[in-house]
Chain A
């Protein structure tokens, strides 16, 4: 083969494997990715239901699904009791019923709440408490306003039933009728009482 022909053929490039230059990743891409990751995390938290198989659109979380369960009878009263509790009582006694030190005694496991009868318990929101009251072996010296006096019978019964059956408490429910009778018969003791005074009442 002559040199003429050889030189007319396509020649291989001098560097057959071109390599990319090294360059640093711009900082704005890292920031953008972090922002996207954060937004993605927010979206996941709001919409995923955390992979629980029973939760899917239009429900975003197990709590929301639970909230939209239709309730009737006793279950409806308990659901109503939870709403009322969280609006009226939860601020001091805590959503978890554990109370707040120096402010309000616990309801979870409290002998006042889980007593067989609800007479003393129902008097607390109806009249309020003034003076010392012993709860779970501890003395609480405080004043509670008659927070339940303005509640309708049904709501008060619901909230009493709710605290008597939540956070491990297992006491009998209170009906609207019970509260109605109790309210009608209690005209004489309208002033807030201390724990000892209440112990004098029937359970």
Chain B
């Protein structure tokens, strides 16, 4: 073999280079990642999962949920919004000024200028950070996904196709475990447009004993069990629901800053 050395060299270079770039560099960058704090609070993010939710990740994986659902929210950009909090001593001048200014969708530099103009007249302002993007417009989250979101996922269920909605913050959008279970059993009973298959095999249809089970699903119409019977979730279904409720990527962290809505 005349080109033995160059060929070996190229193979080592290609494999070594990709190992460096795709395995070693990310491990160096993010291998030591830990819980972080929510911006401007002492709260820890992400919270540790409960046992049921940890097992639920494996149910999620076993049922191939990631084939149709993603857990990754993208963000196109970030903008600033200047909000007047107090008009100050000269409200008329501030009102006149506000009428001439653009207050939303500003860059940070432009927002600083606008804030300077308003405070110059004695008004008080706050600058809010507002992420934007198509995924966020869908209501699938309030910020892009960050590495911390997946801290307790093994393996990470990123998904690559969205036949169904993104689930990165499903626990915030739909925090009712009963509704989640009902949706798994009979998707169309919760959302008439749903294309999700029913996961009936995660549930048992059993005869009602002395009293109806407290876990029985609240079903109606053709989905309901025959008279004298009830539908109760198996442990897998309960774990899967617990996992779905643990997906709550909606808090501001350093990598994905935004101003959270004020608490009422």
A-side interface residues toward B, CB under 8 Å?
51, 53-59, 65, 67-72, 75-76, 80, 83-84, 152, 154-155
Which one, A65, A68, A152, contacts B122 given CB within 8 A?
A152
In the docked arrangement, what's the CA distance between A186 and B252, Å?
44
Contacts A53-B33, A58-B75, A69-B254 known; 19 new A-B pairs at CB < 8 A: A51-B25, A54-B254, A55-B255, A56-B255, A57-B75, A58-B144, A65-B257, A68-B257, A69-B129, A70-B39, A70-B128, A70-B252, A70-B257, A70-B258, A71-B40, A83-B116, A152-B119, A155-B116, A155-B120
Known A51-B29, A152-B120, A155-B116: A68·B129 in contact at CB below 8 Å: yes
Contact-residue size bin, chain B (C-beta under 8 Å from the other chain): 20 to 34
In the docked arrangement, what's the CA distance between A65 and B127, Å?
15
Contact A69 B120 (CB under 8 A): no
In the docked arrangement, what's the CA distance between A76 and B252, Å?
17
Which one, B30, B129, B255, contacts A70 given CB within 8 A?
B129
- Judged by a CB distance under 8 angstroms, whether B223 is at the interface is no
Main secondary structure, interface of A, reads: loop
Contact B112 A155 (CB under 8 A): no
Q: Which 9 A-B pairs have the closest CB atoms?
A: A53-B29, A70-B259, A58-B77, A54-B255, A70-B129, A69-B257, A83-B112, A67-B108, A53-B30
In the docked arrangement, what's the CA distance between A91 and B88, Å?
30
Known A70-B252, A72-B126: A154·B29 in contact at CB below 8 Å: no
In the docked arrangement, what's the CA distance between A55 and B256, Å?
9
In the docked arrangement, what's the CA distance between A57 and B76, Å?
8
In the docked arrangement, what's the CA distance between A123 and B33, Å?
48
Please list 24 pairs of residues, one from A and one from B, whose beta carbons are closer than 8 Å in the complex, sorted by A's number.
Answer: A53-B30, A53-B33, A56-B255, A57-B75, A57-B144, A58-B76, A58-B78, A59-B78, A65-B254, A68-B78, A68-B257, A69-B39, A70-B252, A70-B258, A70-B259, A71-B40, A72-B126, A75-B40, A76-B126, A76-B127, A80-B112, A84-B116, A152-B119, A152-B122
